[in-house]
Amino acid sequence: MIDDATQTDADGLSPAAYHATVGPALKATAEVAAKRGYPTLHDDLPCMIALIELVTRLADLYTENNQASAEHDKLAAAPQGAAIMVLREADLDAASIEVMTNALAAADTRVREQMVIGDPRPTVAMAWSYLNDNERDAADRYLQRSVLAIAQAIDAWEQTASQ
């Protein structure tokens, strides 16, 4: 349960941590959601789950490469914080944000437990290397590839489950 759905640790990250983790993931997931026909990211549940996955993986890589970082706790909360940022951007009230954040966390857990998606780490690691080389376009292509793979796997799983 969120104490205050209007606050998020993603907001408290240093600019370097934000631009290495949350920013690239938000960009990639929003672009894929738009290509999938969703005018806003919060309307596309598979892309919201992909957002959590990407921020999680990028935060892990950031932590591994910045052992001296004092932002470990904030990075651990960044996936949920990124989702909250998207929901706030959609002008949802705090109660709706809390309900949707909890539902998103449950959906993410279910997708993981049922092994619906493949491991995004190799693709995210490639994107990470491009981010470190300041090649953001190349990084974005790899992140979008990962988002699309996650979204398509969830879509296929939902279709199978509904039959």
Residue range 108-122, pLDDT digits in tens: 999 999 999 988 899
pLDDT at position 3 is 37
pLDDT at position 71 is 81
Q: Is residue 4 part of a domain?
A: no
Q: What is the helix (H) or strand (E) element at residue 158, kind and residue range?
A: helix 136-161
pLDDT at position 12 is 80
pLDDT at position 55 is 96
Q: Is residue 26 part of a domain?
A: yes
Which segments of 21-135 does DSSP mark as H helices, in order? 22-35, 45-65, 72-89, 94-113, 121-132
Q: Is residue 95 part of a domain?
A: yes
Report the number of distinct structural domains present in the chain: 1
Give the integer Cα–Cα distance in Å for 16 and 34: 27
pLDDT at position 161 is 80
For the record, the structure tokens of 52 come out as: 């959590």
Q: Is residue 2 part of a domain?
A: no
Q: What residue ranges of the chain have pLDDT lower than 70?
A: 1-11, 68-69
Q: Is residue 1 part of a domain?
A: no
Q: Which domain covers residue 20, as residue numbers?
A: 9-161
